[in-house]
Amino acid sequence: MSFLTISNAGKVFGATTVVKGFDLSVQKGEFVSFLGPSGCGKTTVLRMIAGFERPTTGSIRIDGRDITDLAANKRRIGMVFQAYALFPNLNVAGNIAFGLRIAGQAASEIDARVDDMLRMIGLAHLGKRYPYELSGGQQQRVALARALAPRPQVLLLDEPLSALDAKIRVSLREEIRAIQRQLGITTVFVTHDQEEAMSISDRIVVMNGGRAEQIGTPFEIYNRPATRFVAGFVGTMNILRARLDRGQPQTITVAGQKLRLAAPPVTQDAQGNLSLALRPEALSLTRAEGHDSTFTGQVQSVNFMGSVVRIRMQVNDELISFDMFNSPNMVPPVIGQTALAHFASRDLFELAA
Amino acid sequence: MKKPVPYAAIAIALIGASYFVVPLLATFYFSLKMTRGELGFAAYASVFRSADFAATIVYSTIASLAAIAIGTLVIVPTAYWVRLKVPRLRPLMEFISLLPLIVPPVVLVFGYIRMFGSSSVLPLTASTFGTDILLVLGYVVLSMPYMYRAIDNGLSVIDIATLTEAAESLGASRFRTIVLVIFPNVRAAIISGAFLTFSISLGEFVLASLLNRPAFGPYLVQLGQDRAYEPAALAIMSFAFTWGCMALMQLFAIRKPGQRWFSRSTPRTATGSSA
């Protein structure tokens, strides 16, 4: 049975529908990320779980209890905000103790819990400092400890890493995941950074236009995007227009070249047109085992990106990107050169509209 | 290259300062001349010896402190609520807060006398205590432009929406959020507003005079009519008091939570463990 259940949740602000028909079930201890562009409704759903927004339609249940109409301060939900939101008048220990004091716990219990939390976030020596004396990363760790101190049922993280620099973002997200695993707390994380979502989530909810476009593991979302939006939003994807050959249910024409699919397609329209997707890393300049198809085209650009080199190749009317691992011994193709990009036709997948 | 000395700017500053300082020095000099043929603090001693001085200043101090308490309790939650829930009403609130600067105090006090006179439903002027309440409420209204602005500015520098949500997610009710989060974080603004309220209320004349209360303002005016040197001494003391208030406002405004009153030799910064 799921621990957190959102059923048919919708939210309307004036004439604008921000969230519509949102359904999600989260298991106890699961780490779920809401991923999507700005304005897709991910933060609104999070705020509905927190109790800061009341759903216009639908319901939210935690551990079987309907909390749709429950006030935010009665939900026992911990939240970490993008802007840290530490109380400026309280020092680190005071911030962490805030929720425990509100709950009326004894001073000795509060002190012990605060010490535990400080040790957990590795800031045991900074308990007496004030927020303005901490770096952004330290402040966010304190915010995490403050949210976890009262032992909430669910932890909500609203883009907690967005305000931090790249290096700290990576180390802190690993720390958050480690703490979440250690405590086994059900967690919902909002981000617009796909790499962040991929790296720490059990499951990802890709949102667009107030709806969940796809819910799945990072592996499923990345390798089998269900819609054109998910394919375009998560990672880089070659989206190709194809046409099914009449009388040959597994043969298609893509970029003027005939390919044979592993199985007959199912999403073509009445004229036999369909959309196919192919990840850049599925293509290679050298033929490898399993590669049964090849695009021939002219190199348009070569971008050195450190560990990989991204090449764009014009194949008739399609611009196809593909990646190759950087190697000191490898000479990348030059612009204007005719090149062959090999791939396995089973790596092509159909996109729903 | 050495910067040229800005003689013109210094001259303008000195002329501007002299416009303010010369009359003050002249008043101070005059206040020292009470005893014929010598300079001394006889006028100051005379003021302090006066029983009326002590009685009126104690009365006005109590009334001013009551006005500060009521003003803070009314204006902080109001300004907080407007910013949090109905920010579109802020221009209206600012206009309302400025009304005491537009409507003269004499209009306010006659309104009070008509509304709360002995023949009204709530005859506050029928008793001394009731009239004291009216006076304090009048002080709250007169200081509202300064108190509201100070507190609204204080609220503008903290993210009250997120802090409120953070407090609520930790189980705090709206009341406890205001008491434990909002009040402490606008403390400097409240203190600024309080000092301004105190400065305005302490020497206020119109309300106290027309409500016939034994306040410091009417005493000052009466003294000015009856004596020569004591009013000058009182004027200097008032200036000193106002400047003291302004210095305290500055001190509270720039002090951060947990900061010592006198800074350490080496400041603490965001260092230590990994970010």
pLDDT in tens, A3-53: 999 999 999 998 999 999 999 999 999 999 999 999 899 999 999 999 999
Q: For chain B, say whether A138 makes contact (Cβ under 8 Å).
A: yes
Using the structure block, give the residue that is written with the tokens 């198809």. A293
Q: Which helix (H) or strand (E) holds B200?
A: helix B187-202
Selecting from A52, A89, A137 the residue whose C-beta is nearest the C-beta of B185 gives A89
Confidence of residue A272 (pLDDT cuts 50, 70, 90): confident
Count Cβ–Cβ pairs < 8 Å, chain A vs chain B. Answer: 101
Taking every pair of Cα atoms in chain A, the longest distance, rounded to a whole number of angstroms, is 79
Q: For chain B, say whether A98 makes contact (Cβ under 8 Å).
A: yes
Confidence of residue A352 (pLDDT cuts 50, 70, 90): confident
Distance separating alpha carbons of residues B210 and B230, to the nearest angstrom? 24
Confidence of residue B87 (pLDDT cuts 50, 70, 90): very high
Q: For chain B, say whether A112 makes contact (Cβ under 8 Å).
A: no
B182 alpha carbon, distance to own chain's centre: 20
Confidence of residue B260 (pLDDT cuts 50, 70, 90): low
- CA distances (Å), A41 to each of A4, A207, A270, in order? 18, 7, 34
CB atoms within 10 A of CB A69: 10
Give the dihedral sign, CA A268/A271/A275/A276: positive
- Contact assignment for B176 to A136 by CB distance below 8 Å: no
pLDDT, mean over chain A: 91
What DSSP line would sit under A26-84, residue for residue?
A: E-TT-EEEEE--TTSSHHHHHHHHHTSS--SEEEEEETTEE-TTS-GGGS-EEEE-TT-
Q: For chain B, say whether A146 makes contact (Cβ under 8 Å).
A: yes
Query: A36 vs A1, which has greater pLDDT?
Result: A36
Distance separating alpha carbons of residues A214 and A109, to the nearest angstrom? 43
- Contact assignment for B171 to A88 by CB distance below 8 Å: no
What's the token pair of residue A72? 């935010």
- Span A193-233, pLDDT tens digits: 989 999 999 999 999 999 999 999 999 999 888 888 898 88
- A chain contacts of residue B159, beta-carbon cutoff 8 Å: 83, 85
Parallel, antiparallel, or unpaired: how do β-strands A338-343 and A293-304 relate?
A: antiparallel
pLDDT of res. B271: 46
Distance separating alpha carbons of residues A101 and A105, to the nearest angstrom? 6
Q: Give me the half-sphere count of Cα atoms (radius 13 Å) on the Cβ side of residue A314.
A: 9
- Burial class of B214 by CB neighbour count within 10 A (0 to 12, 13 to 18, 19+): middle
Q: Tell me which of A133, A168, A188 to substitute to probe the interface with B (most B C-beta atoms closer than 10 Å).
A: A133
- Contact assignment for B170 to A72 by CB distance below 8 Å: no
- Burial class of B79 by CB neighbour count within 10 A (0 to 12, 13 to 18, 19+): buried
Distance separating alpha carbons of residues A252 and B156, to the nearest angstrom? 62
pLDDT of res. B160: 93
- A chain contacts of residue B274, beta-carbon cutoff 8 Å: 122, 137, 171
The interface predicted TM-score of the complex, written ipTM, equals 0.83
Q: If DSSP codes are grouped into helix, strand and coil, which group holds residue A113?
A: helix
- B chain contacts of residue A78, beta-carbon cutoff 8 Å: 169-170
- B chain contacts of residue A171, beta-carbon cutoff 8 Å: 274
Selecting from B169, B184, B271 the residue whose C-beta is nearest the C-beta of A89 gives B184
Q: For chain B, say whether A52 makes contact (Cβ under 8 Å).
A: yes
Any bridge partners for residue A325, and if so which? A308
What DSSP line would sit under A240-275, residue for residue?
A: EEEEEPTT-TTEEEETTEEEE-SS--S---TTSEEE
Please state, for a pLDDT cut of 90, what percent of chain B lies above it.
Answer: 57
- Contact assignment for B273 to A102 by CB distance below 8 Å: no
Q: Are B180 and B172 in contact (CB under 8 A)?
A: yes
Mean pLDDT of B192-214: 90
Please state, for a pLDDT cut of 90, what percent of chain A lies above it.
Answer: 63
- Span B123-176, pLDDT tens digits: 888 899 999 999 999 999 999 999 999 999 999 999 999 999 999 999 999 999
- pTM of the entire predicted model: 0.81
In this predicted structure, the answer to whether residue A119 has a pLDDT above a threshold of 60 is yes
Selecting from A85, A102, A168 the residue whose C-beta is nearest the C-beta of B172 gives A102
Q: For chain B, say whether A38 makes contact (Cβ under 8 Å).
A: no
pLDDT of res. B250: 76
- B chain contacts of residue A75, beta-carbon cutoff 8 Å: 169
- Contact assignment for A83 to B167 by CB distance below 8 Å: no
Sheet of A293-304, strand order: A318-325, A308-315, A293-304, A338-343
pLDDT, mean over chain B: 88
Kindly report the nearest CA distance between residue A117 and chain B, in angstroms.
15
- A chain contacts of residue B181, beta-carbon cutoff 8 Å: 87, 89
B27 alpha carbon, distance to own chain's centre: 24
Any bridge partners for residue A244, and if so which? A252
Q: Are A261 and A272 in contact (CB under 8 A)?
A: no
- Contact assignment for A130 to B168 by CB distance below 8 Å: no
In this structure, of A156-170, A242-256, B181-195, the range with the lowest mean pLDDT score is A242-256
pLDDT of res. B268: 54
- Burial class of A106 by CB neighbour count within 10 A (0 to 12, 13 to 18, 19+): exposed
Q: Are B176 and B167 in contact (CB under 8 A)?
A: yes
Any bridge partners for residue A233, and if so which? none
- Contact assignment for B268 to A129 by CB distance below 8 Å: yes
- CA distances (Å), A26 to each of A4, A158, B248, in order? 5, 17, 55
pLDDT of res. A214: 94
What DSSP line would sit under A2-25, residue for residue?
A: -SEEEEEEEEEETTEEEEEEEEEE
pLDDT of res. A92: 96
In this predicted structure, the answer to whether residue B270 has a pLDDT above a threshold of 70 is no
Distance separating alpha carbons of residues A311 and A320, to the nearest angstrom? 8
- B chain contacts of residue A117, beta-carbon cutoff 8 Å: none
- Contact assignment for A99 to B181 by CB distance below 8 Å: no
- A chain contacts of residue B256, beta-carbon cutoff 8 Å: 130, 132
Distance separating alpha carbons of residues A238 and A253, to the nearest angstrom? 15
Using the structure block, give the residue that is written with the tokens 């300004």. B79
- B chain contacts of residue A169, beta-carbon cutoff 8 Å: none
Query: A186 vs A352, which has greater pLDDT?
Result: A186
Any bridge partners for residue A186, and if so which? A154
- CA distances (Å), A192 to each of A38, A51, A156, A162, B2, in order? 7, 22, 15, 9, 53
- Contact assignment for B272 to A126 by CB distance below 8 Å: yes
Q: Give me the half-sphere count of Cα atoms (radius 13 Å) on the Cβ side of residue A276.
A: 27
In this predicted structure, the answer to whether residue B246 has a pLDDT above a threshold of 80 is no
Q: ∠ CA(A271), CA(A272), CA(A276), 5° rounding?
A: 135
Q: From B164, which residue of chain A is nearest by alpha-carbon distance?
A: A85
Confidence of residue A57 (pLDDT cuts 50, 70, 90): very high
pLDDT of res. B275: 41
Q: If DSSP codes are grouped into helix, strand and coil, which group holds residue A321?
A: strand
Using the structure block, give the residue that is written with the tokens 């009551």. B66
Amino acid identity, position A272: G
- A chain contacts of residue B189, beta-carbon cutoff 8 Å: none
Q: For chain B, say whether A103 makes contact (Cβ under 8 Å).
A: yes
Confidence of residue A325 (pLDDT cuts 50, 70, 90): confident
Selecting from A73, A83, A89 the residue whose C-beta is nearest the C-beta of B168 gives A73
Q: From A53, which residue of chain B is nearest by alpha-carbon distance?
A: B165
- Contact assignment for B257 to A130 by CB distance below 8 Å: yes
pLDDT of res. B273: 42
Q: Are A107 and A151 in contact (CB under 8 A)?
A: no
Kindly report the nearest CA distance between residue B60 and chain A, in angstroms.
32
- B chain contacts of residue A125, beta-carbon cutoff 8 Å: 272-273
- Span B95-118, pLDDT tens digits: 999 999 998 999 999 999 888 988
